[in-house]
């Protein structure tokens, strides 16, 4: 793995395990999505590894600048990278491998993200800033994709989280392109989308709409 220039403005979290999942990930990358996180909690380890490698290869062909991460599984990210696949790191939940252990496994150049969603969790993440590159924070609004057990943050929930950490913050939770401008005004670094891209008739167009809300990467964008 080599250290990435991390562009968090438009961050795709995949859903599904079929060929369309791969194609949507590649289309999003080609349109400028800075990160593709492969999420397939239902797969066993070998099947997940195969999916990660396939998506990483297709995303790399579409846009070599797009960062590919694995949801939860640092071991799968390690195994995929060991095959030579362009996989760059892991996104961890609070119950997954500790960030320092994931960093030790994946190396100093890997990208390590961490799920949060409260000011307290953001502060906890900040204590681990030597091992973490960014945090996800949500849900923005309720979503059937993932039940965090936390109340939705809404727009008002993001400024306190941004203020609680020096790490870049990515908003997630039923975000749509229409939300981007308002969310970016809270100081976050980007938005993560699942259904808005994965279920779109034209995923690339959704990515382009998101990027119009934050045309160049900046400390707050």
67 assigned to a ligand binding site: no
Burial class (CB in 10 A: 0-12, 13-18, 19+), 210: buried
176 assigned to a ligand binding site: no
Average pLDDT of the segment spanning 52-57: 98
143 assigned to a ligand binding site: yes
C-alpha neighbours within 13 Å on the C-beta side of residue 173: 24
pLDDT given at position 147: 65
Return d(Cα 117, Cα 169) in angstroms, integer: 10
Higher pLDDT, 15 or 215: 15
Return d(Cα 94, Cα 84) in angstroms, integer: 28
- The answer to which of 11-15, 83-87, 148-152 has the lowest mean pLDDT is 148-152
96 assigned to a ligand binding site: yes
pTM of the model: 0.95
Q: What is the CATH number of domain 10-212?
A: 3.20.20.70
72 assigned to a ligand binding site: yes
pLDDT, tens digit, 9 for 90 and up, residues 108-117? 999 999 999 9
Domain boundaries, the chain: 10-212
128 assigned to a ligand binding site: no
């Amino acid at each position: 793995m080599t250290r990435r220039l991390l562009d968090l403005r438009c961050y795709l979290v995949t859903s599904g395990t079929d060929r369309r999942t791969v194609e949507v990930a590649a289309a999003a990358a080609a349109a400028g999505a800075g990160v593709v996180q492969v999420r397939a909690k239902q797969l066993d380890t070998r099947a997940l590894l195969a999916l990660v490698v396939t998506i990483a290869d297709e995303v790399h062909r579409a846009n070599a600048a797009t960062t590919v991460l694995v949801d939860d599984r640092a071991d799968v990210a390690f195994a995929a990278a060991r095959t030579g696949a362009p996989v760059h790191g892991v996104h961890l939940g609070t119950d997954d491998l500790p960030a320092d252990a994931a960093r030790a496994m994946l190396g100093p150049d890997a990208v390590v993200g961490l799920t949060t969603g409260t000011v307290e969790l953001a502060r906890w993440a900040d204590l681990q800033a030597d091992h973490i590159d960014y945090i996800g924070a949500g849900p923005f609004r309720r979503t059937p994709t993932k039940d965090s057990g936390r109340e939705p943050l809404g727009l008002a929930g993001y400024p306190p989280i941004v203020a609680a950490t020096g790490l870049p913050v990515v908003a997630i939770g039923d975000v749509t392109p229409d939300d981007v401008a308002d969310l970016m005004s809270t100081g976050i670094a980007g938005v993560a989308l699942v259904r808005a891209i994965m279920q779109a008739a034209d995923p690339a167009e959704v990515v382009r709409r998101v990027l119009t809300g934050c045309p160049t990467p900046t400390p707050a964008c």
